[in-house]
Amino acid sequence: MASFQTAERHSAKVITDNVLHQRHMIAYDQATQLVSGHILEVGCGEGYGMELLAPKATKYMAIDKYNTPIDPQLPDFSKITFQQMNVPPFDGIEDNTFDFIVSFQVIEHIEDDDFFSRELFRVLKPGGKLILTTPNIKMSLTRNPWHIREYKPEELYNLLDGIFHKVEMKGVFGNKKVMEYYEANKKSVRKFTRFDVLNLQYKLPRSILQIPYDILNRMNRKNLHKSNTGVSSTVKMNDYFLADATDQCLDLFMIAQKKED
């Protein structure tokens, strides 16, 4: 099976992606403390989170827009089914199917986020929970043209609170090492964006900006790795943590529950 790889879809195997990869893995680690039963993952990417989550499941369904290879050596591989699908809607999936849904770094790519959220609600069993992450726009360093939108904490809370019966909002934060890298990244990004005197990154269509952004993003990660090797290659999952969301969190971490019958 073939997969499509851009700078937006980071790899666990690429050292220059390590800081971002570990930031994603903390969400999976936290989810292991919550999930069980029939689990749906929306946007599984390379499947790097399945190693943590699949052992918690009785059945595990993974969805991605790309036909992504899933490693047959994964623990509990026999529980896993993969389906290539553009969502929403969740075609062919019945109401009230899953005990838990995880969807990490996906909703920012969805055109109709309200429909997407309602579809997530629909396929959850009564009492089931959605665990979702997305970047906090307050901490984004530039426009990401691969994203339809990014959210302020209150915006995402209000979206989910209008659909689900209970919503809890946390944030993913980094320790001193992570935030030193973040500040180095900010300075590096400014070296590129200082030439955008007309603020075109926010004015041009996303489709025009995607490839230049991808090239510059990869270049920036490589430069950061060369100048901050001691940080970029040594950041681990436990250098991130969850706490109550603020404008300073890197990602929003949401737990939304469907009412029990």
**Does the pLDDT value for residue 227 go beyond 90?**
no
Residue numbers of the domain that contains 90: 15-257
Q: How confident is the model at residue 3 (pLDDT cuts 50, 70, 90)?
A: very low
| 39 CB-side CA count, 13 A | 26
116 in a structural domain: yes
**Does the pLDDT value for residue 130 go beyond 90?**
yes
State the Cα–Cα distance between residues 79 and 76, nearest whole angstrom: 6
Q: What is the DSSP letter of 25?
A: H
Q: How confident is the model at residue 2 (pLDDT cuts 50, 70, 90)?
A: very low
Q: How confident is the model at residue 211 (pLDDT cuts 50, 70, 90)?
A: confident
Number of domains, the chain: 1
Structure-derived torsion over alpha carbons of residues 26, 22, 156, 171, reported in degrees to the nearest 10: 60
49 in a structural domain: yes
139 in a structural domain: yes
46 in a structural domain: yes
Greatest Cα-to-Cα distance within the chain, rounded to the nearest angstrom: 57
How does the average pLDDT of the chain come out, rounded? Answer: 90
173 in a structural domain: yes
Of residues 112, 54, 42, the one with CA closest to residue 84? 42
Contact 137, 248 (CB under 8 A): no
Q: pTM of this prediction?
A: 0.90
CATH assignment of the domain containing 171 = 3.40.50.150
Residue type, 178: V
Q: How confident is the model at residue 4 (pLDDT cuts 50, 70, 90)?
A: very low
End-to-end CA distance of the chain: 41
8 in a structural domain: no
Q: How confident is the model at residue 1 (pLDDT cuts 50, 70, 90)?
A: very low
237 in a structural domain: yes
Question: Is the Cα dihedral 151, 19, 43, 76 positive or negative?
Answer: negative
9 in a structural domain: no
Characterize the bridge pairing of strands 57-64 and 98-104: unpaired
